[in-house]
Structure 1
Amino acid sequence: MHTYIIGIDTGGTFTDAVLMERESGRIVAVAKKPTTHHQLADSTGAALAALLQGAGIPLEKIGAVAVSSTLATNSVVENKGARVALLVIGYVRHFKLPVKAVIFVKGGHTIMGEEEEPLELHYLVSLIHGLKDEVDAYGVCAAMSMVNPTHELVTAKAIEMIDPKPVFCSHRVSQTAGMQERAATAGLHAKLMPIMEEYITGVQQAMTARGLSCPMVIISGNAGTISSDRAVELAGMTVASGPACTASFGAEQTTASALIIDIGGTTTDIAMIKDGQPLMATEGCKIGGWRTHVEAIDMSTGGIGGDSHVSMNDKGHLTIGPNRVVPLAMAADLPPIDGWFGKEERSRLIVFRPESKMPAEDRLTTFLRTQGQATPEQIRRATGLSGVTLDRDLENLERLQRTYECGFTPTDALHVLHRIDLGDRTRALAGAAILAREIGMTAEAFCELVLRRTEEQIENLVIDHLVQHYWGNSLTSFIAGRNDHPVLGVNFSLKIPLIGIGAAARYFLPAVASRLATTVSFPQYCEVGNAVGAALICKQTLADQTKPPVV
């Protein structure tokens, strides 16, 4: 009999795994391993191996593996992932979305399903030929395709014949009016399909290597499950997978109302529990610059976490996030910090993965392969690349997992202040001292400033989530600058408690709770809360499947 469920959560920094007893919900074993972005099978396999070794149970008693991932969410927040061309068919007001290109093509149907204008097929074919070397996936959205999807289907077939890459059509998931939201939904699915394909392959390889043959399901953003064979085609449904597990874990902790806040290495996710139940987004989820028709938990995600990149410009202004870097304290084989680290172009070190195989070499990859690692400043001086061109090429290398970046982070600040001891404090201290000198502070005072700014950004994310939930409008710019106004000062307080989960939550949420005049708790297993949430959602799905039909 299948008596256990494994829950896995692949985050930007750590991969967590838990073994849950199906009947009681008791956690039998837990494991946490660093996420290996360039080879997800390695970190998933390491977490599974540690979990199974600690549990010591027969593999045939494991009935399912439920996986959640914030990789999709992170790629949207950091504006990384697949390069998408979004083809919008029909007469509509032009709009922008955070994709490689939004291209408008004549065609579309009326509300009655009749062709409003013939599909501009010759133009479409020339477009695809021009795009095929520039994009990784396509999204297609035609006017009134939920009534008549013919133009979307023809476009998808044309793409398949010319450039066989992932294609997603909006009519497959969105039956609601609203052209921009439907287009965003199609674009989001297309952006995440290659990421989900790689992720599922990695998990399946890890399961096979450990002798696990049970079914695998992916947690969807609406706190349901998707079978692994359908997860790629429904990749956009997983964009709020992590927050759904956050909400599920939080709902187990209270029968009242609370805000559940998951602080990871890359992002902070927020979901609200009302009367012990997660709230659903009434009009589809919004993440980053995407307002979609994807059904999901009512959640917010912001690019702030323990590994957010801390950078400083020439005027001494600090920026934290949204991109993640490997903390100085946690990176391997770094050259002496004093030799390369600083503000602006010296704030991050680009490290070339020695195992990377590039189909074609150019100035940038040749230089990085030869040097192994370099700052953007060093790259600019050696290759002549700079500005938008260099940023684009570096982003492309990171997207392809050819490089990773190191820099100063809130995690480094915690090391300097002796609040954690996971890596090399001397490297973190060296980085803090360099930036601190730029603004006339001690390294310790600078690190206190970094942590305070991180806490402020998390606090602002909480406030904006609640404002949007209750009033439907975002006040991001006002909230972020409210304490800088020369005349007006605004403070907020919460009437419900916070529940913290995630590896970094204990270091930031107590101060956030204090600023918001509320309390915060950290339940048992909160450090692996999303993995627990994944197992809980799977447990509920299996229970629903075995319920006798209502007569």
Structure 2
Amino acid sequence: MEYKIGIDVGGTNTDAVILDENLKLIHSVKYPTTEDIESGIFQALHLVLKESKINKAAVTHAMLGTTQCTNAIVERKKLAKVGVLRLGYPATASVAPFTAWPDTIVQQLSKTYAFAKGGYEFDGRNLSSFDEQEIRDILTSWKGKVESIAVIGVFSSLKNEQEFYVRELAQEILGESIPVSLSSTIGSVGLIERENATILNAALFKVMRTTSDGFEKALLQEGVSDAEVYLCQNDGTLMSIDYAREFPILTIACGPTNSIRGASYLADLENAIVLDVGGTTSDIGVITDGFPRESSVAVDVGGVRTNFRMPDIVSIGLGGGSIVRQTADGDVTVGPDSVGYQLVDKAMVFGGDTLTATDIAVRLGKIEIGEPANVAHIDTVFAEKAYAKIGAMTEEAIDRMKTSAGDITLILVGGGSVIIPQELNGVKEIIRDEKGAVANAIGASISQIGGQYEQIYIYSQIAREQAMQDAREKADDQAMKAGAIEGTIELVEVEEIPLAYHPDNATRLRVKVVGDLVQNR
């Protein structure tokens, strides 16, 4: 028998699961997420292996879904000093890099940037002549000042040869140890948003290196020495650890997508709305043909506007640890503040003195945990009012995700899902599973390797079929680079968006593929 380990780090708990080769859940544990994240991962891994008593040599795959990169941006910590090189001078000099960024994050990144000639017009012609010596001079002046490089070319989503050449020069001048992020491999159409995403990717390499090294070290310490190691991407697929070190930004918001994939697997549904209720927040997403629906608009990450792919998620401040209060006018509020991972210490049913959403559910007899006698004094009318508020908050969030007026099927997962009412307006069926509390870790374990490629093709210059084939081959290459087995890769999504302002039928083409994991070494 062979096994997979899946670990997902949430704001409240770090969940770990072990699945057998038939994807049957063998054992699961929850451990409070620690401030340094890593010790929580170590403990969850140790517990799940110890309690399951499986043969550690039989673990073939280990997957990690982590909030480390998201936390680094939000908390402005552990970010690398980035040198930003924008190709397209003088046409692009009016809006400098880091414009509209929060000052707190810019100070961490050192605000080192330069403009250089290069870039392309929207039809592929040179915007200004590329000057190699100019690039060499800029990179030489950055020696000892920056820890990573972000390269952004105008319309590099149409042609990206200049960006790749700059990377060669950077590695020659600054050394192979300085990572170089290229905007054409990260973001979409839209220079500033693509640049922002590329800068963030370049800023996160230290965080990802620490996280990935720590996960590998934890596995070795526990005696898991022959497993392929993967990190979760935010589109519901996996990537190899080396690929994650190159594209750390792809781990941002992977937690909700893990829950969506896990919920889809547990409910055996490929189309539904998923509500993942944690201790602090609830995330609502849509599963479409087995994969999380992607956002079609630019997304803010820690106050920075970006356009790289992100899941379409609505988050609300509602969880099992949400604090319940009565206002002066007799109304009831639930959240957004929460006791979080301190629920077992601070909630009334566990002997604490803070009234939480979990206490309300226990008072009304919806669940049986802790000591119900501790909340027997709470007025029933007040409790019903709070419970109705929880239902109303949930219904409003679900309504924001619906694309039609009809009632939907809702899959309910997450450790805090016990607080959600049995009946909700606009919902025809609620599916719950006893394993739903660890759906995020299950989602991490069952995923395939993903690959995606996006480029602008001008159909007057290249036939549509030829463009499709080119994009498919490049998406396949990305999947194999991320760890997929050649020959197992399947096309799962194609998106074509014509560019309205282009006279020659230019189209943004995005292709997504998935493939099976490489087997253990």
Q: CA 1:457 to 1:127, structure 2 compared with 1: closer, same or farther past 3 Å?
A: farther
Q: 1:328 to 1:34 in 2, by over 3 A?
A: closer
The corresponding residue for 1:109 is: 118
- In structure 1, give the amino acid aligned to 2:442: V
Match of 2:100? 96
1:262 is matched with 276
**Aligned positions of 1:282-293 closer than 5 A:** 283=296, 286=299, 288=301, 292-293=306-307
Q: Note the C-alpha offset of 1:153.
A: 4.5
2:55 — aligned with what? 58
Measured against aligned partners, the alpha-carbon deviations of 1:224-283 in whole angstroms (never above 9, x if no partner) come to 221123323211111132233223223322446310121223432222224x52254275
CA distance, structure 1, for counterparts of residue 488 and residue 271 of structure 2: 32
- The answer for the alignment partner of 2:426 in structure 1 is 516
* Residue 67 (structure 2) pairs with residue 67 (structure 1): no
Q: Secondary structure at the match of 1:182?
A: helix
Equivalent positions of 1:230-269 (< 5 A) are: 230-252=243-265, 253-255=267-269, 257-269=271-283
Contact 2:334 2:390 in 1 (8 A): no
> Which residue does 1:343 correspond to in 2?
none
Asked if 2 retains the 8 angstrom alpha-carbon contact of 1:82 and 1:194, the reply is yes
Q: Is the 8 A contact 1:32 1:47 kept in 2?
A: yes
Matching residue within 114, 129, 154 for 1:143: 154
Deviations 1:491-537 (A, max 9, x none): xx6521110111011212x26x5143433111241111111111111
Task: Pick closer, same or farther for the CA change 1:155–1:196 going to 2, 3 Å.
Answer: same
Q: Does the 8 A contact of 2:67 with 2:255 survive in 1?
A: yes
Change (3 A) 1:179 1:207: same
Partner of 1:506: 418
Tell me, yes or no, if the aligned pair for 2:139 and 2:170 is still in contact at 8 Å. no
Aligned-partner SS, 1:518: strand
Task: Give the Å deviation of 1:126.
Answer: 9.5
Structure-1 separation of matches of 2:317 and 2:179: 27
Structure 1 position 137, deviation (Å): 7.6
Return closer, same or farther for 1:194/1:312 CA change in 2, 3 Å cut-off.
farther
Q: Is the 8 A contact 1:217 1:226 kept in 2?
A: yes
* Cα distance change, pair 69–158 in 1 and its aligned pair in 2 (3 A): same
Task: Give the aligned partner of residue 320 of structure 1.
Answer: 335
Could you tell me how far 1:33 is from its partner in structure 2?
1.6
- Residue by residue over 1:45-80, the C-alpha shift from the partner in whole angstroms, topping out at 9 and shown as x without a partner, is 33223322333332221111112234445666x565
Q: Which residue of 1 aligns with 2:220?
A: 208
Contact 1:269 / 1:301 at 8 angstroms: preserved in 2? yes
C-alpha contact 2:276 2:412 (8 A) present in aligned 1? yes
Cα 1:465–1:58 change in 2 (3 A) is: same
Which amino acid counterpart does residue 105 of structure 2 have in structure 1? K
Show the counterpart of 1:377.
Answer: none
Tell me if structure 2 keeps the 8 A contact 1:109–1:144. no
Aligned to 1:460: 396
CA distance in 1 between partners of 2:270 and 2:437 (Å): 22
Q: Secondary structure at the match of 1:243?
A: helix
Kindly report which structure 2 residues correspond to 1:300-449, keeping only aligned pairs within 5 A, or say none.
300-302=314-316, 304-307=318-321, 320-321=335-336, 326-327=341-342, 330=345, 410=357
Q: Which residue of 1 aligns with 2:462?
A: none
- Give the match's secondary structure for 1:60: helix
Change (3 A) 1:445 1:154: farther
**TM-score normalised by L of structure 1:** 0.62
2:191 maps to 179
Change (3 A) 1:56 1:457: same
8 A contact 1:84–1:139 mirrored in 2: no
Per the TM alignment, residue 212 of structure 1 is displaced from its structure 2 partner at its CA by 0.4
Q: Secondary structure at the match of 1:231?
A: helix
Q: TM-score, with normalisation over the residues of structure 2? A: 0.65
Aligned partner of residue 272 in structure 1, secondary structure: strand
Partner Cα separation in structure 1 for residue 321 and residue 141 of structure 2? 43
CA, structure 1 residues 67+270, in 2 after alignment: closer, same or farther (shift >3 Å)? same
Q: Distance in 2 between matches of 1:84 and 1:454?
A: 41
- Cα contact 1:142–1:152 (8 A) shared by 2: no
Secondary structure of the residue aligned to 1:15 is strand
Q: Could you say which residue in structure 1 is the equivalent of 2:14?
A: 15
Q: Is there any run of 5+ residues in structure 1 with no aligned partner, and where?
A: 339-406, 434-441, 471-492
1:326-354 Cα distance to aligned partner (Å, 9 max, x none): 5475369xxx999xxxxxxxxxxxxxxxx
Q: CA deviation at 1:182?
A: 0.4
**Residues in 2 aligned to 1:337 and 1:58: alpha-carbon distance in whole angstroms:** 40
The 3-state SS of whatever aligns with 2:243 is: coil
Does the C-alpha gap of structure 1 residues 318 and 143 become closer, same or farther in structure 2, counting only changes over 3 Å? Answer: farther
Separation of aligned partners in 1, 2:168 and 2:93: 18
1:217 positional shift: 0.6
CA distance in 1, matches of 2:429, 2:355: 30
Using a 3 Å threshold, how does the CA distance of structure 1 residues 448 and 128 change in structure 2: closer, same or farther?
farther
1:225–1:538 CA contact under 8 A, matched in 2:
yes
Partner of 2:284, secondary structure, is strand
Structure number with higher strand proportion:
2
CA offsets, 1:415-465, max 9 Å, x none?
787877877999x98xxx9xxxxxxxx788777666655554444333333
Q: Specify the alignment match of 1:532 in structure 2.
A: 442
Q: How many residues get paired? A: 429
Q: CA deviation at 1:325?
A: 5.1
- Kindly indicate whether the alpha-carbon contact (under 8 Å) linking 2:12 and 2:340 is maintained by their aligned counterparts in 1: no
Q: C-alpha separation between the residues in 2 aligned to 1:127 and 1:447? A: 61
Taking structure 1 as reference, are residues 155 and 451 closer, same or farther at Cα in structure 2, changes over 3 Å only? farther
- 8 Å Cα contact 2:233/2:250 also seen in 1: yes
- Find the counterpart in structure 2 of residue 34 from structure 1: 32
Residue of structure 2 equivalent to 1:227: 240
**Kept after mapping to 2: 8 A contact 1:84/1:138:** no
Point out the structure with the larger helix share: 1
Say if 2:55 is the partner of 1:46: no
Cα-Cα RMSD: 5.0
Does the aligned pair in 2 maintain the 1:284–1:296 contact within 8 Å? Answer: no
Please give the alpha-carbon distance, in whole angstroms, between the structure 2 residues aligned to 1:290 and 1:220. 20
- Give the whole-Å Cα distance in 1 for the aligned partners of 2:174 and 2:365: 56
**In the aligned structure 2, how far is the partner of 1:539 from the partner of 1:154?**
28
